[in-house]
C-alpha cells in the first residue's frame, strides 16, 4: 500500500524543521572551527618574556664571548655622574670577564640632565657606523666638560664624531632621523617596564643588582661565571 503524502502544511513545517537543524549544525561546526583557529593563532604568537625587554636584537653588546656564561645589562645615562664614576670600574670588569660575560648597554637618559638625550643620539649615530663603544667611552671620559650645561652640546658631540673619523654627513642624518630617537625611546620603555627608575641600573642574568662596593660587584660577576 502506498502511504498518503503529508498535507502541504505539514510538509512545510517539516521542511522548516530540517532547515533549522541544518543551520544549527552548520553554525555549531563553524563556531568549533573558529575556536580551534583562534586558539591556534593565540598559541602561534608567544608572549614577550622579560628577557626580551632586557636585551633586544639591536641592543649594544660590548663583548661577544664565544661561550656566554652570564649577561650583564646596564641601563645608563651619559650625563649621570654615577654612571660616569662607575664607567672605569665596568671597563675593568669587562676586560676581566668579557670572554665569559656579555656586557650590554641600554639607554635611559633622565629628564634632569639636559644633554643626556642628545648624548644618547650621538652614541646611536656613531653606532650606525660601528663606533658605538668608542663614542660611549668618549662621552664618559669628557663628561665633566659638558655635563650640566644648559646649552646644547650637540656641536661638541659632533666634534667627537669627527675625531673618531665618522662620516659626518651620515652622522648628522642619523642624529636627525626620527628612527634614532625611537631607538632610544624603546630602551627607556623597556627600562621602565623592568622597574628602572635611576641610573646606573644593572641586571645580571635578569636579576637587578644592588651594589655596595667594587669588590662586591666583581664578586657577583665571579659567582655568575662559576
CA 68 to centroid of chain Cα atoms = 20
pLDDT in tens, the chain (226 residues): 333 333 444 444 444 444 344 334 333 333 332 333 233 333 333 333 457 789 999 999 999 999 999 999 999 999 999 999 999 999 999 999 999 999 999 999 999 999 999 999 999 999 999 999 999 999 999 999 999 999 999 999 999 999 999 999 999 999 999 999 999 999 999 999 999 999 999 999 999 999 999 999 999 999 999 9
If we measure between CA atoms, which residue out of 137, 136, 128, 138 comes closest to residue 174?
128
Q: Percent helix, strand and coil across the chain, each rounded to 5? A: 60, 10, 30
Number of H helices, E strands in the chain: 10, 5
Instruction: Report yes or no: 199 and 83 within 8 Å, Cβ to Cβ.
Output: yes
DSSP E strands, the chain:
60-61, 70-76, 101-107, 201-204, 207-208
Phi, psi dihedral angles at 95 (to 5 degrees): -65, -35
Query: Quick one: which H or E segment has residue 171?
Result: helix 168-176
User: Which pTM was predicted?
Assistant: 0.77
Amino acid at each position: 500500500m502506498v502511504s498518503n503524502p503529508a498535507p502541504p502544511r505539514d510538509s512545510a513545517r517539516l521542511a522548516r524543521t530540517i532547515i533549522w537543524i541544518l543551520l544549527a549544525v552548520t553554525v555549531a561546526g563553524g563556531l568549533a572551527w573558529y575556536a580551534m583557529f583562534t586558539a591556534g593563532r593565540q598559541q602561534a604568537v608567544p608572549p614577550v618574556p622579560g628577557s626580551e625587554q632586557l636585551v633586544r636584537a639591536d641592543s649594544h653588546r660590548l663583548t661577544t664571548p664565544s661561550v656566554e656564561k652570564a649577561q650583564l645589562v646596564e641601563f645608563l645615562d651619559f650625563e649621570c655622574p654615577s654612571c660616569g664614576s662607575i664607567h672605569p670600574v665596568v671597563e675593568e670588569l669587562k676586560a676581566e670577564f668579557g670572554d665569559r660575560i656579555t656586557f650590554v648597554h641600554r639607554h635611559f637618559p633622565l629628564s634632569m640632565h639636559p644633554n643626556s638625550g642628545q648624548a644618547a643620539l650621538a652614541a646611536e649615530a656613531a653606532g650606525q657606523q660601528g663606533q658605538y663603544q668608542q663614542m660611549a667611552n668618549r662621552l664618559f671620559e669628557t663628561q665633566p666638560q659638558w655635563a650640566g650645561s644648559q646649552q646644547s652640546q650637540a656641536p661638541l658631540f659632533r666634534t667627537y664624531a669627527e675625531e673618531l673619523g665618522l662620516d659626518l654627513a651620515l652622522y648628522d642624518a642619523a642624529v636627525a632621523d626620527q628612527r634614532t630617537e625611537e631607538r632610544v625611546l624603546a630602551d627607556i620603555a623597556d627600562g621602565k617596564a623592568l622597574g628602572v627608575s635611576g641610573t646606573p641600573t644593572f641586571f645580571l642574568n635578569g636579576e637587578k643588582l644592588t651594589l655596595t662596593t667594587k669588590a662586591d660587584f666583581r664578586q657577583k660577576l665571579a659567582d655568575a661565571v662559576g
